[in-house]
Structure 1
Amino acid sequence: MADERPRIGIVTGEKAPELTDDGRAIVSGLRERGYLTAPTIWSDSTVDWSQFDALVVRSCWQYYDDPDAFRAWLATVEQNGIVVVNPPDVIRWNVHKFYLRDLETAGVSVVPTAYVERESDVDLGTILDRNGWTDAVVKPAIGTSSSGVWRASTPIGPGDEDRFETQRAERDLLVQQFVPEVTDGELSMIFFEGAFSHANRSVPAADDFRAHPNFGVATDAFDPTASLVDQARTVLDAAADVLSIDPATLGYARVDGIERAGTFVLMELELIEPYLGLSRADGGVDRAVDAIDATLRRRSDSIARELP
């Protein structure tokens, strides 16, 4: 007799085919709740996506290499009627970092940012001069893991202008004012179904500014004030308003930023495949799995019927 338990694909990429530690912990938790689970590479053309009742997107960090293919994959799973956590519309919006402009318009305090469209004719020196910045960070608008992120200071030399022009010819970019508070640690607030779970602080290496493991960051658990948590929650509320959804629709979310004089300033909102730091939080794995389980049951009548 065929096993009729709901089949959940844990979506990953070619660089993490067996998932991360967090991903494997989520798999174990979902299995304990009655799901059949398997890591599945989003770009694997041999996968029959129709076999899955739902997908949980976890570690597909290299989607920025071919964002059009990633969007096409999202369309494919939608056409098969598969429930996806987080929802495809949320993922599509979050793929391109110009979403920060939407949040800024909605009243969120965002690190001062210039939004540079591909093949525009503005140069880096002009952007810094117009904004009165002496130090800035350049980021691809579609990117993960701090790939292609670099720092520039005035006066802008020809080498940096050439580098900027090369990137600008290929893709949309963000130019953000460098915020010195990041050297004291980038704060990451993790939410499950809109409810705060835990937080981490990531301190860049002494000779760097990027808060990512690829560049020697040191990350530890962090106990934020109630005010910081509330401010991070308003970011989720603003995103939910932009997307016309309930914040509880977001199975997981990570709100990244810095603290400036008691104010939380947003750097990025991670809704696709964020590190969740579950091992650093007591009960973190259970809260993550509970949220995914509840999201799947709420969004799928068949899953709700099949599980106790």
Structure 2
Amino acid sequence: MPAEESSADGGSALAVVTGDQAPELTDDGKRAAEWFQDRGLAVDAVRWDRPVDWNTYDLALVRSCYEYPTDPDRFRELLAAMERADVTVCNPPSVLRWNMHKSYVADLAAEGVPVPETAVVERGAETTLEAELERLGLDEAIVKPAVGTGSEGVFRVQAADAGEFEDRFADLLADGDALVQAYCPDISEGERSIAFFGGEYSHAWNSPTTPDDVTRFEGDDHDYEPPESIVEAAATTCRAARDVLDRRDPFPYARVDYVRDEDGGIVVLELELIEPILDLEEAGAVDRFCEAVQSYFESANPELDQT
């Protein structure tokens, strides 16, 4: 049922926000859409980079706008438009706005979350990669765009070879801010991810890196199960972000990406709150995800009929 018809009938309309890579929903998105449709909601796939009358919708679920780093100003305009409209967004625009610039790791560090030693280098800064590595005291680092998704623009560098990467670093700074982060050796064993729905642990997996390039991944290991201490450390990361943002309630969905330190503890690489891949094929994950999202929507809109 289209959103307009649903609104006319007094029902609720949900926009699942997508993008160029998955304009008609990812496989996970289709599973979630079916879940909501089975409960009487009209569901539309709505691209983030197209004009939308957000007042047409009661609810919006931001899921696969993977291309937003190509036009971050337009994405910020989208968030502002959502805030002006009478639509409840999940995750909320203020959370997405904070999460889209990776300098948020400094906020997490200030709350006591273990993250790699990091320098945020502003666009156009008169500096060199060699100087930043020296200032941080790093022999090896990962360099990445401050606004980016996946491994786009990410590279690994050793201090001894910094001169060979200065042009690449300069190109990054010509386009936007950049992060220089300490290299974490455990990344050679893969990047581990934990999904939380409504603040509760759902499931985890490991994304093995390629032998010749730790910024690239080759599939997922769904048999990975983190120990309880790691799950709690990841949950603490989410709570720290809520403290930074002055939010009482848990995020409807969140993904914590991490590696282990030398003592087996956690080092948080990223906290994904905008468009994380959530691997909902895990048993029961679709239900857990959708129930958390529905609970969030219902708490924000007790007047809406979502049954």
> How would you bin the TM-score normalised by the shorter chain?
over 0.9
1:154-303 maps to which residues of 2 (within 5 A)? 154-210=159-215, 212=217, 216-248=218-250, 250-260=251-261, 261-279=263-281, 281-303=282-304
Q: Distance in 1 between matches of 2:221 and 2:209?
A: 9
1:16-72 per-residue CA deviation (whole Å, 9 max, x = no partner) reads 111111111111111122211111101112x32221101000000100011110010
How many residues align? The count is 300
Say whether the 8 Å CA contact 2:130–2:163 is kept in structure 1.
no
**CA 1:211–1:294 in 2, change beyond 3 Å: closer, same or farther?**
farther
Q: Distance in 2 between matches of 1:128 and 1:262?
A: 26
**CA 1:183–1:247 in 2, change beyond 3 Å: closer, same or farther?**
farther
1:65-80 maps to which residues of 2 (within 5 A)? 65-80=70-85
Q: Distance in 1 between matches of 2:162 and 2:259?
A: 29
Normalising by structure 1, we get a TM-score of 0.93
Say whether the 8 Å CA contact 1:204–1:218 is kept in structure 2.
no
Q: Distance in 1 between matches of 2:277 and 2:67?
A: 14
Counterpart position of 1:48: 53
1:133-172 per-residue CA deviation (whole Å, 9 max, x = no partner) reads 2221110000012111111112235441111112113211
Normalising by structure 2, we get a TM-score of 0.94
Indicate which of 29, 34, 40 corresponds to 2:40.
34
Counterpart position of 1:307: 306
**CA 1:98–1:105 in 2, change beyond 3 Å: closer, same or farther?**
same
Counterpart position of 1:19: 25
How many angstroms does 1:284 deviate by?
Answer: 0.5
Q: Distance in 1 between matches of 2:84 and 2:256?
A: 30
Q: Give the letter for the 1:22 counterpart.
A: D
1:27-176 maps to which residues of 2 (within 5 A)? 27-45=33-51, 47-176=52-181
Where does the alignment leave 5 or more consecutive residues of structure 2 unmatched? none
**CA 1:217–1:205 in 2, change beyond 3 Å: closer, same or farther?**
farther
- Compute the RMSD of aligned alpha carbons: 1.4
Say whether the 8 Å CA contact 1:211–1:217 is kept in structure 2.
no
Q: Give the letter for the 2:44 counterpart.
A: A
Q: Distance in 1 between matches of 2:37 and 2:56?
A: 17
